[in-house]
Structure 1
């Protein structure tokens, strides 16, 4: 399964860039270098038509391998079938070269190896090495069959083997390095993104706390000054209510300790603040830490309690309880004539309500997986 995280997506794009570069490099080699060699040695082959057929077959294998590689297909049967055809093309081209000209005219030796690397780029290195060894063995057999195993021929074979293997192993090493560095770059980018996001959330939370503190101060400052100079009667019901509201707001501000707020509380907070601005005295309690949940579940848990809060009269109590078994409940107790809306149908979320006189109790509960 593909990694859908930001780091995983970044790494996938990073790796895909190298895959595209590999496809382009192998295709250009086949069209440019091999095509030039094919035309240059045209008159030397036993069958020029067979040489063209081998060249076209390898070009077709490159196209198929590019599709598999760029789509991320891991079909072993298809891949190894293409490898077998590639090696068979190498055998055909080795047989098509004239005696004494194997090392000079057999361009398929290098192209078979490069095509094999393209097909097995993201497979274990031992598989790629095995294919390259078989490819080199084909040339050795061809040299032995035509009696070209002289000292000069062996030296030329070793030189060409080193040259071709250097290119092929460079591609293999590049793929591994890019895969490793791509993962590191993705992790670094994700870490920076998370740090920046966390810093933004912390700043937002701090600003919200300051706003709520200023609201409480604005609500109570005049009352406190009036109490100090004797112009405000502490027995006045309105004054007592304003003091209770400000006390509840300050208590919640002082009780908040997390820099990054709980996702569920973040949904409840705007409704609670709005009710307090209307003069509702709200007590809030949280028990336990909220477990991970989807946005849909969090919205379903907060929807009905928030709707009930809008109809609260003078006082309300909000309680969020998280059990260790993955059970979360949000309950609201309000006075007044608050209405209970129809809850959204979300799997695992149930809503219970009970009315006693002018008191309404509502609980939204989620049983996690």
Structure 2
């Protein structure tokens, strides 16, 4: 997930709280301040019903936004037709009022509509709100001027507008700052997550390396020490066989850290390629769907097969059979007489049989049912 996507998610969560707070403010203004003004100024309206319709429309828009916020979504493209509706009811609220009372106390709608406009463009920034609010007041003042009279002096009207607008702009600015803070929070959270992930990956890689080193220290380290000190003769067949086994085992261990769909098959193929370089002809057969095998169990499961592949001189038949929670790995090969490790543990059992020059090894892993 990108920083922008994360910032949008965090901003949406913060903005939902802002929306609910603003919805509460608007409903309080409409029913606590504007409704009493509407009722008190009934005699100044050409049509009381039109004024009631204006109030109902404003409440309806607020409720519509509240439903979307409750569903977990913010105001979308439909804000634009709703702004058109607000422009229409603004005109209705002004022209159905006696010209001499326009901008006066009975003219409640021109102040209230600004709050609903703010609700619709809260996530668009201060610039959008100021532009729409200016257009709204421009239309209202033009209608008042056309009527030739007003219930308030220009200075008084401007004073009322400035006081109301100051509160609305403060909320718009806070919402804009909130989105910037959410972006900063997202950057910080993602950076912390990246550092935690890097630390965990580094720790896991270090643990894997130490595990591989421990796996080789009991076998490869003494062999290398013996060759370096001269205690072991490189010309001895048993020493060469031991070196071949360790070479294949190292190849398998190096493949354990690879990110592949089937780690078991990947490790076996690495061992097979080394055996084929030494002259063996390996035929691999797979049956069934294999469950994922843990790294430690894979190491035990392939240990006997590694010893056979390292020393096989002719044809080798390698078979893997998978079931819902088990894997059976068997090897039939012409291999010299030597000790094949019988490894048991981590759910793995191994059996070895010999018939003449042919060696049959089977290792089975049983997972949790």
Whether TM-score is above 0.5 comes out as: yes
Question: Does the residue aligned with 2:105 lie in a helix, a strand or coil?
Answer: helix
- Is the 1:86–1:112 Cα contact (8 Å) retained in structure 2? yes
In structure 2, distance between residues paired with 1:335 and 1:206: 39
Higher Cα Rg, which structure: 2
Partner of 1:336: 316
* Residue 203 (structure 1) shift: 0.9
Residue of structure 2 equivalent to 1:135: 136
- Equivalent residue in structure 1 for 2:20, among 21, 24, 48: 24
Q: Is the alpha carbon distance of 1:159 and 1:18 closer, same or farther for their aligned partners in structure 2, counting shifts above 3 Å?
A: farther
Post-superposition offset of 1:136 = 0.7
**Structure 2: stretches of 5+ with no match in the other structure:** 276-289, 291-297, 323-332, 335-369
Tell me, yes or no, if the aligned pair for 1:7 and 1:186 is still in contact at 8 Å: yes
Question: What TM-score does the superposition give when structure 2 sets the normalisation length?
Answer: 0.62
In 1, are the aligned partners of 2:249 and 2:306 still within 8 Å (CA)? Answer: no
> Is the Cα contact below 8 Å between 2:125 and 2:172 reproduced in 1?
no
CA distance in 2, matches of 1:166, 1:241: 88
Instruction: Note the C-alpha offset of 1:15.
Output: 1.5
- How far apart are the structure 2 equivalents of 1:238 and 1:106? 105
What is the number of equivalent residue pairs in this alignment? 291
Q: Does 1:215 align with 2:215?
A: yes
Aligned Cα root-mean-square deviation (Å):
4.4
Residue by residue over 1:174-213, the C-alpha shift from the partner in whole angstroms, topping out at 9 and shown as x without a partner, is 3332222222221221121011111111111111111111
Are residues 224 and 141 of structure 1, via their aligned partners in 2, closer, same or farther at CA, if it must alter by over 3 Å?
Answer: closer
1:200 aligns with 2:180: no
Matches of residues 38-49 of structure 1 in structure 2 within 5 Å?
Answer: 38-41=34-37, 42-45=39-42, 46=45, 47-49=47-49
Structure 1 pair 252–170 and aligned structure 2 pair: CA distance change class (3 A) = farther
Are the equivalent residues in 1 in contact too, given 2:62–2:116 (CA < 8 A)? yes
Whether the 8 Å contact between 1:94 and 1:139 is mirrored in structure 2 is yes
State the Cα distance separating 1:32 from its structure 2 match. Answer: 1.2
Cα distance change of structure 1 residues 90 and 339 upon mapping to structure 2, 3 Å threshold: same
Conserved? CA contact 1:120–1:128, under 8 Å:
yes
Q: Are 1:35 and 2:31 an aligned pair?
A: yes
Structure-2 residue corresponding to 1:172 = 172
Q: TM-score, normalised by structure 1?
A: 0.62
CA distance 1:86–1:340, change in 2 (3 Å): same
Preserved CA contact (<8 Å) 2:11 2:178: yes
